[in-house]
Amino acid sequence: MDQEEILLDAEERMEKAVSVLTNALKGIRTGRANAGLVDSIRVEYYGSPTPLRQIANISVPEPQQILIRPFDSSCLDAIAKGITASDLGMAPNNDGRVIRLNVPPLSTERRKQLTGRVKDLAEEARVAIRNIRRDANKHADQSEKDKLMSEDDRDATREQIQELTRKYENTVNDKAAAKEKEVMDN
């Protein structure tokens, strides 16, 4: 691998790690209703676990309520079971046509638990980024051993990999801090 390939590969993979974190943070509850809270829920639909957003329209008509309108009303009970089985901590209200989820205000203890979860997710993302850095550095070392790049080029590549690592770790830290603030303030 040459210098550009190594850097491009590392940057793409680090971008994916940040993207995974962003999607995970969407599912963390704040005091307000948010369609992202139920995005990760999987429902048994015709024998296979299916993401809720693929079988229902999800909307937020009020700040404290999520409305789930299934495309096929026969799966209402399966959706209710999926929500109950998830770790949301909300009871689904099924009226025969739609499911309503009332989002209760968060207690201080629950807010602290959620900020702990945010910190865990951020640490997982940072670890993933560091693993990507390690792999990219190995590629640079191997390229130097294979005489594809000089020692100076390898050192420059490693320096650029470290800059990418710092950049993406800062992005992770910023996203985590913003989500923690959102959880504690709302």
pLDDT tens string 41-74: 889 888 899 888 899 999 999 888 999 999 988 8
Asked if the model's pLDDT at residue 40 lies above 80, the reply is: no
End-to-end CA distance of the chain: 48
Q: Which class for 84: exposed (0-12), middle (13-18), buried (19 or more C-beta within 10 A)?
A: exposed
| Contact call for residues 68 and 58 (beta carbons, < 8 A) | yes
CB 6 within 8 A of CB 136: yes
Q: What pLDDT was estimated at residue 168?
A: 97
Q: What is the pLDDT of residue 22?
A: 92
Q: Which residue has the tokens 């009970």?
A: 77
Long-range contacts of 19-27 (CB under 8 A, 24+ apart): 20/125, 20/128, 21/121, 21/122, 21/124, 21/125, 21/172, 21/175, 21/176, 22/175, 24/121, 25/118, 25/121, 25/175, 25/176, 25/179
User: Which pLDDT score, from 0 to 100, does residue 182 have?
Assistant: 87
Tell me the pLDDT tens digit for each residue of 13-34: 999 999 999 988 887 877 777 8
Phi-psi label, residue 147: left if phi above 0, alpha if psi -120 to 50, beta otherwise: left
Asked if the model's pLDDT at residue 157 lies above 80, the reply is yes
CB-count exposure of residue 151 (10 Å: 0-12, 13-18, 19+)? exposed
Walk me through the domains of the chain, giving residue ranges and CATH numbers: 3-26+107-185 (1.10.132.20), 35-102 (3.30.1360.40)
Render pLDDT for 123-154 as a digit per residue (tens, 0 to 9).
999 999 999 999 999 999 999 999 999 999 99
Count the neighbouring beta carbons within 10 Å of the beta carbon of residue 60: 17
Position 99 pLDDT exceeds 80 = yes
* Token pair of 30 as six digits: 């704040």
